[in-house]
Structure 1
Amino acid sequence: MFQPADTFEFEYLGSDVIYGRGRVAELGDRLGAAGIDRALVVCGSNVGANEAVMGPVREGLGDRLAGVFDETSSAKSIETAADAVEALHAADADAIVGVGGGSSLNVARQMSALAADGRSADELRAAAEADGTVATPDPDGPLTPVAVVPTTLTGADLSAGGSLVVLPREASPTGQPVVASWSVPPTLVVEDPALFETTPHGPLAGSAMNGFNKGLETVYAAGGSPVTDATATHGLRHLVAGLPGLDGEGPTAVDRAVVGMILVQYESRINVIHAFGQALSRRYPVQQGVAHAVMAPHVLRFVLDNVDGRRRLLAEGLDVEAEGRTDEEVADAVVAAVREVRDSLGVPTRLRDLGGVSHDDLRPIAEYVADHGVLAAAPPGLTVTVEDAEAVLERAW
């Protein structure tokens, strides 16, 4: 099977993406070339205390390191982002470097927009309490440049998106979480496989299905192209080869997994699986990748039971033999292959095993899924009703 290059770089939607072991050492020079003098590192407490990550990041930034804000969490709350903005100003920083998992990278991007937007957390919360929504127009002020250095496999690094929870569901007038979301493309993305290896296997494996599912969904999404077919299927090939070896097969597996994640993010079109994963992770303190792991085989089964879902192209990406098989047999083999990758990661496989998830909440979760905006990119001909979503959740329970 094709082996990835040791190092490469390219431009994607205005971001410079660099890949290779040890390339975090270029962080300061790259930012300097962009006219940046002082950068605030934004991360969670575990990453902030992990010298195997922070040492290379500090060395890479050198004199451009203005400080570290290490208070992000999977909650992605507006309060945390507002605190990070205060830290940005206190450090007199002119750039943000998000380091770690998807939550930290999202907060890093969103805090840039929050700083430019000018509204306080209290003002955004008041708007959310009034009508259950938050308007997020393009900020009037300039955006603070953001660089991201991922250490997990969420596939959140090439994204310009993200969200901040303004009101949790228990405080929301709609009974669903209210989020604020801006688009902030990163200036620089540093994909250094050595940093992924510093993440304990549990969180690394738990993040993986979030990114893996981007490849699945991009294949069958509405509005795809031969380019996205190529990047998504080739990315899936790398992930199928790399993910099962994360726990013990050394650097080759990690390198392949990171390259696979880069590929499946290229013009990715998230849709049905992500609607379920986000419905769960926004309602409960559950790692989104773990929610994806539980739901992926069941959601994929639902998709392939109702539409073709480009199952033979999925089979190609998943290294599943389709020649001589009926459409039904190909669908069965595709779902089985996804389940096999999921099970190799050692993550939870049932909703009831996720801490705090209540069977009584399946209906409101289904309502959130059926109303999710990402369903606009669902496979042509597929509709997802509340009843459909609830039935899928029941099967995953």
Structure 2
Amino acid sequence: MDESFRFAYDHGPIRYGRGCVDALADELADIGAERALVVCGKTVGSTPAVIDPVEDGLGDAHAGTFAGTTPDKRLGAAVAGLEAMRDVDADALVSLGGGSSLDVAKAIAVLAGRDEDPEALAAELESTGIIAAPDDVPPIVAVPTTLAGADLSMAAGITATPASGLVDEPVGGGLFAESLMPAGLLYDPDLFATTPTDVLAGSAMNGFDKAVETLYASTRSAVTDATAKRALELLSDGLPDLREDTDAALERVVPGIVLAQYGASRPDGMTLSLLHAFGHGLTAGYPVQQGVAHAVIAPHALEYLFERVDGRRRLLADGLGVDTAGVSDDELADAVVSRVAEIRDALGLPSSIRELDGISQSDLSDIAAYTLDDSMMGYAPADLDPTVEDLEGVLRDAW
């Protein structure tokens, strides 16, 4: 089998460690920025244990804080954030919190770089599903507090509703450009520890599945094999303790999440596929958090995968700590699925779609069609050829 590859990957410096946000001013200086606007949600912005260390770490480089992001990743919030950025004369953004705050920060950067009427950009989103990002945008430094692993990424999601005055009908889409890769990333376990455990657990399943999928993606490489396998070792060891011994577990889990997403978002494609496509299908138009969607679907989707392709089950088993000596391929597949379900259960997450709000059995056919059309399916193993009927069967098994 030809294992040749080209790995083009460019990201900002990564810092990890307790109290590492003390170095925020240094990181900004290294990228030539002088004044940063912190972008976060209302809860984060009003929680001293989270916001104070970041603002203190910025020191004189702290231009202001915009605590206006929401899980909806609204274009209207990005417009308001751009106004705040201009009001304080900031030349950089520090996203603080979960993936939604990072996505809004990226949208602010795109709006600043485009310097066009928001209505025109909303029309672009409505007609094409994307807002094109320019090459030159204000730099973003990411300070995550959840474990979804959306930080080392060139992509972002964005939505708009009529309430913003920018669109007539609700619309969703995305942003994707090399310029949107964060110029710096700081992973401080002390900040993750301030996040409610339920939020950490849900986001962790999403991040965990990034490592799982990276090993069998058609865009995998020897580089991502190494980082994803080590990520699985750390995560399978740490995640079962996340609820009972959060602080200690984060010492393994946070580095694992960094490695799980390393190289997953590159100019030549993603290493996310089947599980993330299902995740998008289960959350599009439904009040379901992405990590919870992953929790209910992952074991069933992996069963389906292993029925049709190898899925690099032996490498997955090694990463997950499954004993592979003298074990048949079928037994390996069963063991991998069982281990993923064990980790899901240890995180205290739902195990069936019927437990999720807003989804009925009559929706499953539409969800299957959405899943098949999702762009992530393009990175599935080359010899996997799913149909809508196949995917609906997986969803019914998960019901």
TM-score by length of structure 1 reads: 0.90
* 2:63 is aligned with 1:66: yes
Deviation at 1:78, TM superposition (A): 1.6
SS at match of 1:15: coil
Contact 2:280–2:374 (Cα < 8 Å) also in 1 = no
Contact 2:41–2:70 (Cα < 8 Å) also in 1 = yes
Give the counterpart of 2:21 among 8, 19, 24. 24
Q: Residue 45 of structure 1 corresponds to which residue in structure 2?
A: 42
Q: Counterpart amino acid of 1:209? A: M
Deviation at 1:311, TM superposition (A): 0.4
- Alignment map for 1:61-210 (pairs within 5 Å): 61-129=58-126, 131=127, 133-139=128-134, 142-166=136-160, 178-183=172-177, 184-210=180-206
Contact 1:75–1:285 (Cα < 8 Å) also in 2 = no
> What is the distance in 2 between the residues matched to 1:394 and 1:121?
42
Deviation at 1:114, TM superposition (A): 2.5
Provide structure 1 residue ranges, at least 5 long, that are not aligned to the other structure. Answer: 1-11
Q: Counterpart amino acid of 1:294? A: V
CA offset digits 1:149-186 (Å, max 9, x no partner): 00110001111211212469xxxx9x995303132011
**Corresponding pairs, count:** 378
| CA root-mean-square deviation | 2.0
> What is the distance in 2 between the residues matched to 1:81 and 1:373?
24
Q: Counterpart amino acid of 1:24? A: V
- Alignment map for 1:361-380 (pairs within 5 Å): 361-380=363-382
Q: Residue 239 of structure 1 corresponds to which residue in structure 2?
A: 235
Q: Residue 288 of structure 2 corresponds to which residue in structure 1?
A: 286
> What is the distance in 2 between the residues matched to 1:387 and 1:377?
20
Contact 1:113–1:182 (Cα < 8 Å) also in 2 = no
Change (3 A) 1:338 1:124: same
> What is the distance in 1 between the residues matched to 2:232 and 2:76?
37
SS at match of 1:181: strand
Deviation at 1:21, TM superposition (A): 0.8
Change (3 A) 1:358 1:260: same
CA offset digits 1:7-44 (Å, max 9, x no partner): xxxxx613111111110011112212322121111111
> What is the distance in 2 between the residues matched to 1:151 and 1:59?
17
Change (3 A) 1:135 1:191: closer
Change (3 A) 1:358 1:49: farther
Change (3 A) 1:163 1:135: closer
Q: Counterpart amino acid of 2:154? A: A
CA offset digits 1:353-390 (Å, max 9, x no partner): 22222333222221111111111110120022221221
Change (3 A) 1:338 1:95: same
> What is the distance in 2 between the residues matched to 1:296 and 1:34?
39
Deviation at 1:135, TM superposition (A): 4.8
Change (3 A) 1:291 1:127: same
> What is the distance in 1 between the residues matched to 2:116 and 2:275?
33
Contact 1:74–1:287 (Cα < 8 Å) also in 2 = no
Deviation at 1:121, TM superposition (A): 3.9
SS at match of 1:40: strand
- Alignment map for 1:249-264 (pairs within 5 Å): 249-264=245-260
Deviation at 1:134, TM superposition (A): 3.3
> What is the distance in 1 between the residues matched to 2:343 and 2:200?
14
Deviation at 1:287, TM superposition (A): 1.7
Deviation at 1:107, TM superposition (A): 1.6
Task: Identify the range of structure 1 (268-277 vs 282-291) with the bigger mean alpha-carbon deviation.
Answer: 282-291
Deviation at 1:282, TM superposition (A): 3.0
- Alignment map for 1:283-362 (pairs within 5 Å): 283-362=285-364
Task: Identify the range of structure 1 (213-222 vs 60-69) with the bigger mean alpha-carbon deviation.
Answer: 60-69
Deviation at 1:76, TM superposition (A): 1.0
SS at match of 1:179: strand
TM-score by length of structure 2 reads: 0.90
Provide structure 2 residue ranges, at least 5 long, that are not aligned to the other structure. Answer: 1-8, 265-270
> What is the distance in 2 between the residues matched to 1:135 and 1:106?
13
> What is the distance in 1 between the residues matched to 2:125 and 2:261?
31
Contact 1:81–1:111 (Cα < 8 Å) also in 2 = yes
Give the counterpart of 1:381 among 371, 380, 383. 383
Change (3 A) 1:98 1:360: same
Q: Counterpart amino acid of 1:237? A: E
Contact 1:98–1:146 (Cα < 8 Å) also in 2 = yes
> What is the distance in 2 between the residues matched to 1:324 and 1:336?
18
Give the counterpart of 1:211 among 191, 196, 207. 207
